[in-house]
């Protein structure tokens, strides 16, 4: 019990892992601080700076065409100057929010006394999975493979074309020196940090799955309409930083194709729609683990309060309608009417209860956050004055 209650005194509960410890040994992370700026500078020196130097040597910094110019590649800026800082920043935003959400199962007395050891065991498994070396080794391998097969360029390209990553006819694999550094160092590092956070989300999902198997003390009449578990939806909103970061890269890449390649923005509608659906499912989907338990709590609550309402309504009807009512207790001001109304409100809370611990508003918030980086694309295909006139017409 004491071990469980002291979790929030361990600052590395959400920050550990083999890669984190390696960065500590290399001096990139100082004890007691997240060292966000230090890590970002080190990452840029290892990725962007070599790309720029190699591109300058090969004449690819500003090539004969926009596609052959590193300095005009919007997606490269988004990857190394937006996505990575946001991933590092997420450690001080997402980790504490999920930690507080985990603690609220205790503070809200959802865990029964006899199941505290099972809760402590689930927390211990979080640490074991976070500190495991094998998953991060697999991530490194997948990051190197993904750099060649899962990069945005490989599934949004409109056709073969020379880019700043392309080499001459005699070059190995048809890549320039900058292209080799891009695929062998820069993109694998980025994809490793992305997959590392996906692994953290899997760990958290497994933790929620273990909690869903416990006999939680849910409150069907809780005003959050989620039997008291509505705090999970709020905690998962912090995960919106990930679709925002990825959307920055995707939108920058599409902006390049629209602005320099003349690609019609309409051709990317399906891509954005699929992207939004996937992001919402990725962020809020793990909470659907509690759907069976919440549905059961709703059914049980409706049954119990229906029986209680039957008994109380019959007693109220017998006392005040069939009567005769008590002489010393006037109907006006009687607590019976207020109790009847309170019972009706409680039954209404249960009837309106959701079977998932998040709201439609939170779904919309995730979708909006994931869409924000794509809004500037509108300015590429619509003149500013025309857009302002359109907005003015909608408001007036």
Could you tell me the pLDDT band of residue 66, with boundaries at 50, 70 and 90?
confident
Torsion sign (Cα): 258, 261, 262, 268: negative
Task: Tell me the average pLDDT across 207-236.
Answer: 92
Torsion sign (Cα): 147, 34, 202, 374: negative
3-state secondary structure of 175: strand
Could you tell me the pLDDT band of residue 386, with boundaries at 50, 70 and 90?
low
Question: Comparing 4-18, 86-100, 349-363, which segment has the lowest mean pLDDT?
Answer: 4-18
**Mean pLDDT across the chain, nearest whole number?**
82
Residue 125's Cα: distance from chain center in Å? Answer: 22
In 3D space, the residue among 287, 193, 209 whose CA is nearest the CA of residue 242 turns out to be 193
* Whole-prediction pTM: 0.83
Query: Is residue 241 a contact partner of residue 79, using CB atoms and an 8 Å limit?
Result: no
- What was the pLDDT predicted at 328? 64
In 3D space, the residue among 150, 148, 143 whose CA is nearest the CA of residue 188 turns out to be 143
Task: Tell me the average pLDDT across 174-188.
Answer: 87
Give 367: exposed, middle or buried? Use CB within 10 Å, 0-12, 13-18, 19+. middle
Is 80 exceeded by the pLDDT of residue 74?
A: yes
- What was the pLDDT predicted at 214? 93
- What was the pLDDT predicted at 12? 43
- What was the pLDDT predicted at 117? 93
Task: Tell me the average pLDDT across 267-288.
Answer: 89
- What was the pLDDT predicted at 379? 63
Task: Tell me the average pLDDT across 325-331.
Answer: 63
- What was the pLDDT predicted at 11? 42
Report which of residues 335 and 111 the model is more confident about: 111
Query: Is residue 26 a contact partner of residue 38, using CB atoms and an 8 Å limit?
Result: no
- What was the pLDDT predicted at 349? 78
In 3D space, the residue among 232, 361, 369, 217 whose CA is nearest the CA of residue 288 turns out to be 232
> How much of the chain, in percent, has pLDDT values that exceed 70?
80
- What was the pLDDT predicted at 121? 93
- What was the pLDDT predicted at 329? 63
Rounded Cα distance, 380 and 238, in Å? 30
- What was the pLDDT predicted at 309? 74
SS3 content of the chain, % helix, strand, coil (to 5): 75, 0, 25
Query: Is residue 244 a contact partner of residue 372, using CB atoms and an 8 Å limit?
Result: yes
Query: Is residue 84 a contact partner of residue 193, using CB atoms and an 8 Å limit?
Result: yes
Task: Tell me the average pLDDT across 146-162.
Answer: 59
**Range among 31-35, 66-70, 290-294 with highest mean pLDDT value:** 290-294
CA dihedral 186, 192, 194, 199 (to 10 degrees): 180
- What was the pLDDT predicted at 310? 77
Could you tell me the pLDDT band of residue 2, with boundaries at 50, 70 and 90?
very low
Is 50 exceeded by the pLDDT of residue 270?
A: yes
Rounded Cα distance, 89 and 65, in Å? 35
Q: Which residue has the tokens 């119990």?
A: 304
Tokens of 134: 């094998």
Task: Tell me the average pLDDT across 272-300.
Answer: 91
Model pLDDT for residues 9-38, shown as the tens digit of each residue: 444 445 678 888 889 898 888 887 888 899
């Amino acid at each position: 019990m004491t071990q469980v209650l002291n979790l929030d005194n361990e600052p590395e509960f959400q920050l550990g892992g083999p890669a984190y410890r390696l960065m500590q040994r290399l001096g990139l992370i100082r004890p007691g601080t997240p060292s966000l700026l230090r890590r970002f500078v080190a990452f840029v020196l290892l990725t962007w700076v070599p790309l720029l130097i190699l591109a300058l040597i090969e004449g690819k910094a500003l090539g004969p065409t926009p596609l052959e110019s590193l300095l005009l590649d919007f997606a490269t800026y988004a990857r190394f100057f937006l996505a990575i800082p946001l991933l590092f920043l997420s450690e001080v935003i997402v980790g504490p929010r999920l930690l507080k959400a985990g603690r609220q199962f205790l503070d809200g007395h959802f865990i029964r006394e006899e199941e505290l050891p099972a809760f402590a065991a689930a927390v211990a498994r979080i640490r074991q999975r976070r500190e495991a070396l094998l998953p991060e080794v697999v991530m490194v391998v997948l990051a190197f493979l993904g750099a060649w097969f899962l990069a945005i360029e490989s599934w949004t390209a409109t056709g073969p074309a020379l880019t700043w990553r392309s080499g001459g006819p005699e070059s190995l694999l048809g890549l320039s020196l900058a292209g080799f550094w891009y695929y062998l160092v820069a993109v694998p590092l980025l994809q490793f940090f992305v997959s590392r956070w996906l692994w953290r989300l899997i760990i958290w999902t497994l933790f929620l799955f273990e909690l869903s198997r416990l006999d939680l003390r849910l409150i069907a009449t809780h005003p959050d309409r989620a039997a008291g578990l509505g705090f999970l939806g709020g905690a998962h909103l912090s995960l919106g930083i990930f679709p925002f970061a990825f959307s920055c890269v995707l939108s920058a890449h599409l902006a390049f194709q629209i602005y320099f390649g003349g690609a019609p923005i309409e051709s990317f509608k399906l891509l954005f729609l699929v992207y939004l659906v996937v992001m919402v499912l990725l962020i809020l989907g793990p909470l659907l683990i509690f759907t069976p338990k919440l549905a059961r709590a709703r059914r049980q609550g409706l049954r119990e309060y229906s029986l209680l309402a039957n008994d109380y309504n019959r007693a109220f009807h017998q006392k005040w309608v069939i009567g005769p009512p008590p002489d010393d207790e006037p109907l006006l001001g009687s607590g019976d009417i207020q109790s009847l109304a309170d019972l009706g409100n409680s039954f209404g809370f249960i009837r309106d209860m959701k079977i998932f611990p998040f709201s439609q508003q939170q779904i919309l918030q995730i979708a909006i956050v994931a869409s924000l980086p794509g809004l500037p694309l509108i300015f590429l295909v619509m003149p500013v004055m025309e857009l302002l006139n359109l907005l003015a017409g909608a408001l007036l």
